[in-house]
Amino acid sequence: MSASIDLAIIWAFIIAFAVFVYVVMDGFDLGLGILFPLFPAKEDRNVVMNSVAPVWDGNETWLVLGGGGLMAAFPLAYAVLMPALYTPIIAMLVGLIFRGVAFEFRWRTTAQRNRWDIAFAGGSLLAALSQGIALGAILQGVHVAGRQYAGGWWDWLTPFSVLTGVSLVIGYAFLGSTWLVLKTEDRLRDRAYALSWWLLFAMLGAIGAVSLVTPLLSIHYSQRWFAWPNIIATAPVPLAVVAVTVLLLGSLAKRQDTRPFFLALALFALSYAGLGISMYPYIVPQSITIWQAASPRDSQLFLLVGVSFLIPLILAYTGWSYWVFRGKVKAGSGYH
């Protein structure tokens, strides 16, 4: 029995890791789409697209792993959450369709090019907003009866889920702007720096707002964060956010092209850790724990064998692909 408990915790971390990698990697892709309207010049847009064209598909694959892994390791959670989040998930999928095809389609036409630029921007915004709303809907809890979702198809829509939706849009845009600081030059990089300042403050505001409201959702959250002795373990998270923010302000002021993006990732990691602290050990908050949702030991073990060597391998060749396409993207030449 103790072994199966360990497996459920291991799998909770694996799923959390896959979702986190998705959030930050597709996060900056989607952020570029969200910022796209702010770069109206065609040559700028080409550079923005080219900075992620070779890697976006790999980034998005982590979303499929998150979904597939959830079905394999915690099928009950997958079966309850997906119908509960029906509308945001469908909206996200539609957004990802428009965003994904735009990478290829926008080169295939001169007359309608702008149409696929709109699809890219609109699809990215819709996908980001839907993901944020889904996060909020999970945090606020869903109605469960037996082994099924028991609520309506608009339960997800609350002021809180809209807040988390807008917050994630801001966060992705910030990742996107710091990515552009990393990958571009000259006028485009200047725009990206200016945007990064605004978006950093907006993101801090969003983190603050979500952090303030979440403990009000449930006594579980407030006790988790503020009850003694939990606070000893949870207090470092907001303190670290302050520290990373100081570093970010410094690196933006000194115009260090590389650091802001990685510090933005750190800010995401801390926010994500905060979410994990809030939710644990529930996978459907206040209804289903990771142990209740866990698939049998044989299923989790069978997949764990593959995960233990495939994930490092995937990270290795993904890293190689990023290495191949390293450096600044220049206008007028793509990657050539």
User: Quick check: 332 binds other proteins (CB under 8 A)?
Assistant: yes
Query: Minimum Å distance from CB 335 to other proteins?
Result: 5
Give the long-range contacts of residues 86-89, CB within 8 A, separation 24 or more: 86/153, 87/153, 87/154, 87/156, 88/130, 88/131, 88/133, 88/134, 88/137, 88/156, 89/130, 89/134
Comparison of 84 and 265: residue with beta carbon closer to other proteins? 84
User: Quick check: 53 binds other proteins (CB under 8 A)?
Assistant: yes
Q: Report 300-329 residues binding other proteins (CB under 8 A).
A: 302-303, 306-307, 310-311, 314, 317-318, 320-321, 324-325
Structure tokens at 36: 């796209």
State how far the Cα of 149 lies from the Cα of 129, in Å rounded to an integer.
23
Name which of 45, 63, 62 is nearest 103 in CA terms: 45
Neighbours of 308 (CB within 10 A): 11
The number of residues that bind other proteins (CB under 8 A) is 76
Query: Minimum Å distance from CB 314 to other proteins?
Result: 4
Residue found under tokens 């233990």: 308
Taking CB under 8 A as the rule, which mask of x and - marks residues 58-77 in contact with other proteins? x-xx-xxx-xxxxxxx-xx-
Q: Report 122-181 residues binding other proteins (CB under 8 A).
A: 147-150, 152-153
State how far the Cα of 323 lies from the Cα of 56, in Å rounded to an integer.
14
Select the residue interacting with other proteins from 46, 131, 164, 271 (CB under 8 A).
Answer: 46
User: Quick check: 89 binds other proteins (CB under 8 A)?
Assistant: yes
* Burial (CB count <10 Å: 0-12, 13-18, 19+), residue 298: exposed
Structure tokens at 90: 């469908």
User: Quick check: 189 binds other proteins (CB under 8 A)?
Assistant: no
User: Quick check: 13 binds other proteins (CB under 8 A)?
Assistant: no
Select the residue interacting with other proteins from 10, 17, 38, 83 (CB under 8 A).
Answer: 83
Select the residue interacting with other proteins from 38, 54, 114, 218 (CB under 8 A).
Answer: 54
